[in-house]
């Protein structure tokens, strides 16, 4: 690319970002064009801390799980010393992908092509038939920054990860620790490919303006989420009154148990945008089930009551999670193409919970499987419509303030990247 | 795109158009390249009146049918006052596609995402939970020009539709009106995806040089179509003699019934290129069936004889239709990608005709289903071959004069667009 | 494309070629990017002699086989005079592909669209309904250079084929002629689509460093291929000793029968890079079967012993073949897209061999069907990994010297093309 073409290309991206009208959805090309997708990979997925797995997926030395971050295949594993590691899942010989999709356990990472063999620390332990001057220390796996926060695993592809993550981790971890997610076990992990841009998947998650489309979820999730007294729609009045009563009770419980519950909402004023809140659930108030009672007999973290509502964590750029008394559900959003996105959902339960005895997986997975499917259909409709040249950005309602925060945060990341 | 890159891009398109050799097929990139496809969407599908549906598909207030015009999702519907309407099928909130594929009926157009609710006139009637300063009148559906001509529905995406359409409509409508297509009912609508550029689908329709490949159609469709005495191949001599006798009889019938039948052929000398003709059919001469007898007992428009041959209408850029005594068949050509095109075929019968009693749908659909399938295979072969860098445009035979007219008309549209 | 954009594009390709580090694999974009793919089509597949078929596929006048060389559909056929011919498989009228996929036999080549009819010499014999001034001699099929070498069929799409092919043919043919491949019959032809760039398919073939992944092949194929005493891995010592004994015996046989067997290896120092060698096989030493005995009772070319080891021919850019006493196997590599490649494998046996009597096709095809499938999986893993922006070229081991030769030869071809 010549300097002049590159400049004009940058100009075009700059102008599109500059045209963004606060309070309104993004222009169509942000969701449909390859050049914006490539910019997203560079500015967002190549720079920031990303939620990609749970520690429960890699409990023992040698356990691994793989993830595709846009064009980057990455492996997360537990090393022989018990530490978390992440590497580019690419052999240093001729570039073959090392470990396949899914999860597994290995003593060493052996490339299936020519048997180059790496330790769980990434060091090249053996490469067959090399000349005497071959130096294995030059060919260790390329590391990826990784860290666990309260049992959630984050990676960062950049050389220099964002500086504010330490602070965010320190503020979030106390909310998570009582639930002992690090010691949990994986009840299920489901990958869903959605036919829409990754930002549409995120935006969909950031509001409950569309929650009428989630009848299963709305059994226990208060549909008043995101509304205030000022803009509460009349049909939600009864639910809101019920919410206020449940909320008062929940707060008393949190105080009694010493569980942090204050809302922190810093979605668009820092690089590692986040929001955390502990909140009541409807009906029995224990879990995301049709009647709100726990789906698993064994509580997470041994907490003394199942009636804990839910802990909700929203993280920019690519995740959210819910922790209830008996299980946790994590969601990782991973871009596949401008109009295709992987949503990986993982259900965690107490490590001693036995499938079929302590929990019925159908009941455990029911609500969020239905909800994810409904959201995937909504995202596909959004992708279809914003692909029309006739689409123009429309205004967000007040209850969509977190979508606005996501878009403001996102365009700030693009501005940073384009200004580099 | 910088000015200089844009100019060079335009230059390249200009040069390709300028190189077009009259009497010869188009160069390969017109059929295969994304930049020519995008130009076609701008110059043709974004500018001109397009046939997209029949009024019979939307007989009652609230009835709708959707269509994809390249990247534009569009809905055609009947409003509460009984008028035709067309809108961009895109919610003004966050751009979700409003109505799905197919046909249906609604009281209001309700977006499935956040329940924004539009009247059949496109006005935004309700958007939940908005602040006091929200002005619904700013967020009506974006309208698309629409009109019915003798029961056929045309839309135009441009702000200023072509000026000559009124005249064309006025000249075509008298041919159509006796058949009462506006009051007809839809017997079937079939979508076929062809693996070729939309222009190959159109060119295929514009000649009968290939009609040996249509044994079912040739039972009643005279294979002499497009030939003159001067260039009639010897093997078509007998068919031509039979045609001349049938033609004489048909003309007498048209005169007796007061049906307009004169050929009008203005395919390449106006923006809304068209051709209309009433012509005899072979065998029983009534319909496109194996023996030429009517497939439906009830005549369209209550005409007193079924032996009417067929009325054939060819329209640039994207349609043709045939009307016989007992039914009508319309064809809409809609580009999906440089090498993929949707052909939507709709069969109309008398509104009182009862399936299984008055007509057998298998018989009704047989000939054109077979013919469409044969054409789709020919179009795919053409797409395959013109994708070769070794392909060079070849000469049209005299009987392919309508293909030449299509190409001449098409390149004139590109010249207009590039000159803007 | 403006001159400046074209230049910058060329610059970018030039720089990537210039960055190539000898002894290391190619950078990722060579395997993944459309612009490198297009360059490969121009520099390699559009310029050089390509192996595409065997004469056994077109034994009689009118016999044809089709092949897709990147975007070029080509037909190879036997003309009425018994000569080999190749043409662009594109009708000179409107560009329809003439002959479909597979093989067949025709008296004339008749386009299925409008019946334009060509002789087996490519001359246009008949085009229906043309005006008097139509000159058929202007519309013969566009020829493609073609020649047979010892029963293998090569085509070249360039106007001026590489000058050194005559010499290569003259040196290779004596090795092939004793096996009478020209008179052989096709026992099977199998097309396999691999999910990787064509160069990864070639590179995979050029070393046995990965042969642990081929248990069926390694029954008879010595895994010491490509190793020297200096770099032989300890676990191959026993195989190597066995090889030396088999090799000594094989050489004596070749001498006795007058079969040329000297290794010629000119893979990277000429345009038509090649390598030919006659070599021993393990176990019974006759064929690629589980116990090394012949899969077909009738020897190819009537040679007096089945224990002939194998003749291996490696050709740049796109083929290899093995000839054993009872059959031959040819492999043609044909690019479909940057990340997709067709591997066409053809098994030849004695013309009088009867399936089910003289050979069991399952046995005949077993080893290389398994081997091809294993290689396809390795190629897909390599394509996945080299698509990562984190991939960097790694070092070849000494036993991969032919992969290095392929890459050196390949980059020389790109330099030639970019310097034109």
CATH number of the domain within which B110 lies = 2.102.10.10
For C397, the domain range is 166-418
Q: Taking a contact as any Cβ pair under 8 Å apart, which residues of chain A between 142 and 171 contact chain C?
A: 142, 157
Q: Does A7 fall in a domain?
A: no
Q: Taking a contact as any Cβ pair under 8 Å apart, which residues of chain C between 392 and 411 contact chain A?
A: 392-399
Asked if A113 lies within 8 A of C213 by C-beta distance, the reply is yes
Asked if C94 lies within 8 A of B387 by C-beta distance, the reply is no
- Output the pLDDT for position A386: 98
Residues C93 and C180 in one domain: no
Q: Does A36 fall in a domain?
A: no
Asked if A73 lies within 8 A of C385 by C-beta distance, the reply is yes
Given a contact cutoff of 8 angstroms between Cβ atoms, the answer to whether B121 and B79 are in contact is yes
- Output the pLDDT for position C2: 41
Q: Does C345 fall in a domain?
A: yes
Share of chain C above pLDDT 90, in %: 95
Residues B207 and B259 in one domain: yes
Q: How confident is the model at residue C3 (pLDDT cuts 50, 70, 90)?
A: very low
Closest Cα in chain B to A395:
B93
Given a contact cutoff of 8 angstroms between Cβ atoms, the answer to whether A158 and A72 are in contact is no
Q: What angle (nearest 5°) sits at the alpha carbon of residue A95, between those of residues A91 and A98?
A: 40
Q: Does A32 fall in a domain?
A: no
Given a contact cutoff of 8 angstroms between Cβ atoms, the answer to whether A293 and A282 are in contact is no
Asked if C129 lies within 8 A of B28 by C-beta distance, the reply is no
* Exposure of B97 in the CB half-sphere (CA atoms within 13 A): 22
Closest partner residue to C390 (CB to CB) among A90, A112, A129 is A90
Other CB atoms within 10 A of residue B169 CB: 19
Q: What angle (nearest 5°) sits at the alpha carbon of residue B400, between those of residues B395 and B401?
A: 100
Residues A136 and A182 in one domain: no
Binding partners of A (≥3 Cβ pairs within 8 A): B, C
Sheet containing B152-156: give its strands across.
Answer: B50-54, B152-156, B145-149
Digit-coded pLDDT (tens) for C29-58: 999 999 999 999 999 999 999 999 999 999
Q: Does C259 fall in a domain?
A: yes
Set of chain C residues whose Cβ sits within 8 Å of the Cβ of A155: none
- Output the pLDDT for position C420: 82
Residues C118 and C187 in one domain: no
- Output the pLDDT for position A3: 45
Residues A204 and A76 in one domain: no
Asked if A95 lies within 8 A of C385 by C-beta distance, the reply is yes
Last residue of a domain, one of A149, A181, A210: A149
φ, ψ (nearest 5 deg) of residue B243: -60, -45
Q: What is the pTM (predicted TM-score) of this model? A: 0.96
Query: A94: distance to nearest CA of chain C, Å?
Result: 5
Asked if B203 lies within 8 A of C94 by C-beta distance, the reply is yes
Q: How confident is the model at residue B3 (pLDDT cuts 50, 70, 90)?
A: very low
Asked if B394 lies within 8 A of C142 by C-beta distance, the reply is no
Residues B277 and B381 in one domain: yes
Q: Taking a contact as any Cβ pair under 8 Å apart, which residues of chain A between 67 and 86 contact chain C?
A: 71-73
> Measured between alpha carbons, how far is C338 from B413 in angstroms, rounded to an integer?
35
pLDDT, averaged across chain C: 96
User: What's the whole-number mean pLDDT along residues C225-254?
Assistant: 93
Task: Report yes or no: C128 at the B interface, CB cutoff 8 Å.
Answer: yes
- Output the pLDDT for position B1: 35
Q: How confident is the model at residue A370 (pLDDT cuts 50, 70, 90)?
A: very high
- Exposure pattern of C299-329 as b/e (b: 16+ CB <10 Å)? bbbebeebbbbbbbbbbbbbbbbbbbbbbbb
Residues 6+ apart with CB under 8 A from A74: A52, A66, A67, A68, A86, A87, A88, A89, A144, A155, A157
User: What's the whole-number mean pLDDT along residues B30-58?
Assistant: 98
Task: Report yes or no: C228 at the A interface, CB cutoff 8 Å.
Answer: no
Last residue of a domain, one of A94, A124, A149: A149
Query: B113: distance to nearest CA of chain A, Å?
Result: 6
Residues C274 and C414 in one domain: yes
CB pairs under 8 A between B and C: 96
CATH number at residue B410: 3.90.380.10
Residues C257 and C368 in one domain: yes
Asked if B378 lies within 8 A of C113 by C-beta distance, the reply is yes
pLDDT, averaged across chain A: 96
- Output the pLDDT for position A1: 35
Binding partners of B (≥3 Cβ pairs within 8 A): A, C
Q: Taking a contact as any Cβ pair under 8 Å apart, which residues of chain C between 295 and 314 contact chain B?
A: none
Q: Does A332 fall in a domain?
A: yes
Digit-coded pLDDT (tens) for A310-357: 999 999 999 999 999 999 999 999 999 999 999 999 999 999 999 999
Best residue of B8, B67, B94, B118 to probe chain A, by most A CBs closer than 10 Å: B94
Other CB atoms within 10 A of residue A22 CB: 9
Best residue of C6, C24, C373, C384 to probe chain A, by most A CBs closer than 10 Å: C384
C82: left (phi over 0), alpha (psi -120 to 50) or beta: left
Residues A177 and A260 in one domain: yes
Q: Does B9 fall in a domain?
A: no
Digit-coded pLDDT (tens) for A273-300: 999 999 999 999 999 999 999 999 999 9
B198-205 and B401-419 helices cross at what angle (nearest 10)? 140
Query: B58: distance to nearest CA of chain A, Å?
Result: 22
Which ipTM score applies to this complex? 0.95
Closest Cα in chain B to A375:
B113
Closest partner residue to A1 (CB to CB) among C8, C385, C399 is C8
B257: left (phi over 0), alpha (psi -120 to 50) or beta: alpha
Asked if C95 lies within 8 A of B393 by C-beta distance, the reply is yes
Last residue of a domain, one of A149, A175, A206: A149
Digit-coded pLDDT (tens) for B140-178: 999 999 999 999 999 999 999 999 999 999 999 999 999
Q: Does B16 fall in a domain?
A: no
Digit-coded pLDDT (tens) for B351-391: 999 999 999 999 999 999 999 999 999 999 999 999 999 99
Cis peptide bond upstream of C317, omega within 30: yes
Closest Cα in chain C to B204:
C113
Asked if C128 lies within 8 A of B209 by C-beta distance, the reply is yes
Digit-coded pLDDT (tens) for C346-377: 999 999 999 999 999 999 999 999 999 999 99
> Measured between alpha carbons, how far is A380 from A115 in angstroms, rounded to an integer?
42
> Measured between alpha carbons, how far is A22 from A396 in angstroms, rounded to an integer?
9
Residues A124 and A215 in one domain: no
Digit-coded pLDDT (tens) for C291-334: 999 999 999 999 999 999 999 999 999 999 999 999 999 999 99
- pLDDT of residue A4 exceeding 80, the answer is no
Residues A173 and A217 in one domain: yes
Residues A104 and A191 in one domain: no
Set of chain A residues whose Cβ sits within 8 Å of the Cβ of B72: 388-390
Task: Report yes or no: A96 at the C interface, CB cutoff 8 Å.
Answer: yes
For chain C, the domain total comes to 2
- Output the pLDDT for position C332: 98
Set of chain C residues whose Cβ sits within 8 Å of the Cβ of A131: 231, 397-398
Asked if B390 lies within 8 A of C88 by C-beta distance, the reply is yes
- Output the pLDDT for position A8: 82
Closest partner residue to C209 (CB to CB) among A5, A129, A142 is A129
Asked if A385 lies within 8 A of B1 by C-beta distance, the reply is no
């Amino acid at each position: 690319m010549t300097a002049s073409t590159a400049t004009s290309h940058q100009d075009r991206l700059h102008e599109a970002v500059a045209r963004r009208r606060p309070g309104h959805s993004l222009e169509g090309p942000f969701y449909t064009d390859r050049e914006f997708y490539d910019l997203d990979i560079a500015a967002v997925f190549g720079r920031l801390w990303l939620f990609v797995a749970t520690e429960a997926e890699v409990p023992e030395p040698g356990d691994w799980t793989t993830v595709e971050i846009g064009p980057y295949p990455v492996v997360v594993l537990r090393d022989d010393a018990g530490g978390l590691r992440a590497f580019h899942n690419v052999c240093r010989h001729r570039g073959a992908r090392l470990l396949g999709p899914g999860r597994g356990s290995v003593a060493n990472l052996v490339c299936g092509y020519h048997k180059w063999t790496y330790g769980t620390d990434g060091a090249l332990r053996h490469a067959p038939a090399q000349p005497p001057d071959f130096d294995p220390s030059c060919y260790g796996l390329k590391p990826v920054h990784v860290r666990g926060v309260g049992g959630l695993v984050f990676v960062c592809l950049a050389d220099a990860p964002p500086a504010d993550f330490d602070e965010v981790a320190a503020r979030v971890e106390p909310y998570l620790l009582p639930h002992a997610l690090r010691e949990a076990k994986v009840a299920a992990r489901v990958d869903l490919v959605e036919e829409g841009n990754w930002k549409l998947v995120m935006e969909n998650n950031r509001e409950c303006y569309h929650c009428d489309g989630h009848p299963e979820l709305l059994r226990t999730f208060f549909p008043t989420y995101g509304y205030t007294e000022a803009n509460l729609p009349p049909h939600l009045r009864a639910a809101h009154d019920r919410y206020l009563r449940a909320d008062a009770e929940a707060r008393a419980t949190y105080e009694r148990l010493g569980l942090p519950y204050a809302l922190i909402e810093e979605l668009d004023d820092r690089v590692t945008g986040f929001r955390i809140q502990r909140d009541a659930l409807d009906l029995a108030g224990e879990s995301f089930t049709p009647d709100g009672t726990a789906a698993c007999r064994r509580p997470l973290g041994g907490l003394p009551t199942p009636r804990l509502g839910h802990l909700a964590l929203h993280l920019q750029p690519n995740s959210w999670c819910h922790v209830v008394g008996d299980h946790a559900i994590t969601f990782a959003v991973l871009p596949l193409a401008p109009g295709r996105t992987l949503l990986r959902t993982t259900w965690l339960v107490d490590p001693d919970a036995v499938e079929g005895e302590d929990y019925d997986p159908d009941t455990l997975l029911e609500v969020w499987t239905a909800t994810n499917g409904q959201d995937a259909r909504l995202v596909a409709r959004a992708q279809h419509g914003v692909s029309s040249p006739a689409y123009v950005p429309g205004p967000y309602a007040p209850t969509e303030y977190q979508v606005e925060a996501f878009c403001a945060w996102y365009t700030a990341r693009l501005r940073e990247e384009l200004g580099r």
